Structure 1
Amino acid sequence: MIPAYQRKRRRKVAEINVVPYIDVMLVLLIIFMATAPLITQGVDVDLPQASAEPLDSDSKPPLVASVNAQGEYFLDNGTVDENKPLQLDELAALVAAELTVDPERPVVVNGDRLVTYDVVIQLMITLQGAGVPSVGLMTEPGE
């Protein structure tokens, strides 16, 4: 007699189902792609591609934001006392006022070689917040 219902035996499969792992990896990839631009910080600086040349004598005189070795900030715009140290917010207000009068006026940073990198970066961030589109860096001519 043949049984009416015969149960088939299933073979065990020795494979790993990787579909859930692929789903998790795609979600992580999307999360990292979305958050990566948010965590990068920096200041846009236009660096010269070749040896630096001095500004043209017929160009507008630049605003010179300076940092001395003690970390004090100064602004040379021709109207403010150059020897009086300024706070960053005062410097930003003065630069913003100068740029509303003449938006094409160049702005350069003059940093002492003994000052820490962070102090110069704070100055550049302040200038960027004041509306300066690009910042130049002053250097001493090489020998």
Structure 2
Amino acid sequence: MAFHPSTKNKKPMSEINMIPMIDVMLVLLIVFIISAPLLTNSVKIDLPTASSNPVDTREKSVQLAIKSEGNFYWNGTLKDKDSLQGLMLEASHQTPQPEIQLQADAHTSYETVAQVMALLSRSGLAKIAFISLPEKP
């Protein structure tokens, strides 16, 4: 890349000046090299070793099934609506509260499911899980 002071050669320069781009890349490389160790803020601790049995951290769960006819099953046992409410109140006073796994038949009306969810909420149970079957390919 040479500049000619003469005016004989008036062609435009067709080369890309790479020097500024290389300078910018080197500055960015230095910035990243310096800042990379600062991004890791872990503290190395020498933890003690101990052998013990694993702790079962799974919470209790209750299966509540609703059939399309309006039948309710609490852990597989057929219950009517009044006894179901008593069981819900009893479960809400347990510590920790059990998770209610709600299984509704495919043909169960939305109104029935909504009523059961409202009953669970009034009883003080907040952990509700909906159980469904995965789609078949």
**TM-score (ref. length: structure 1):** 0.50
- The whole-number CA distance in structure 2 between the counterparts of 1:97 and 1:130 is 9
- The whole-number CA distance in structure 2 between the counterparts of 1:136 and 1:90 is 21
Q: Residue 64 of structure 1 aligns to a residue in which SS?
A: strand
Cα displacement string for residues 14-72 of structure 1 (whole angstroms, at most 9, x for unaligned residues): xxxxxxxxxxxxxxxxxxxxxxxxxxxxxxxxxxxxxxxxxxx9512411111112111
> Which residue pairs with 1:117 in the alignment?
110
Unaligned 5+ segments in structure 2 are 1-55
1:116-135 → structure 2 map (5 Å cutoff):
116-135=109-128
Aligned counterpart in structure 1 of residue 97 of structure 2, from 104, 112, 133: 104
Matched, 1:84 2:78: yes
8 A contact 1:111–1:120 mirrored in 2: yes
Unaligned 5+ segments in structure 1 are 1-56, 77-81
8 A contact 1:69–1:114 mirrored in 2: yes
Aligned length: 81
Q: RMSD value over aligned CA atoms?
A: 1.9
> Which residue pairs with 1:142 in the alignment?
135
Aligned partner letter, 2:61: P
- The whole-number CA distance in structure 1 between the counterparts of 2:134 and 2:57 is 20
Identity, % of aligned pairs?
16
**TM-score (ref. length: structure 2):** 0.52
1:1-143 → structure 2 map (5 Å cutoff):
59-76=58-75, 82-87=76-81, 89-143=82-136
Q: Residue 79 of structure 2 aligns to a residue in which SS?
A: coil
Q: Which runs of 4+ in 1 moved over 2 A?
A: 82-85, 101-104
Aligned partner letter, 2:65: S
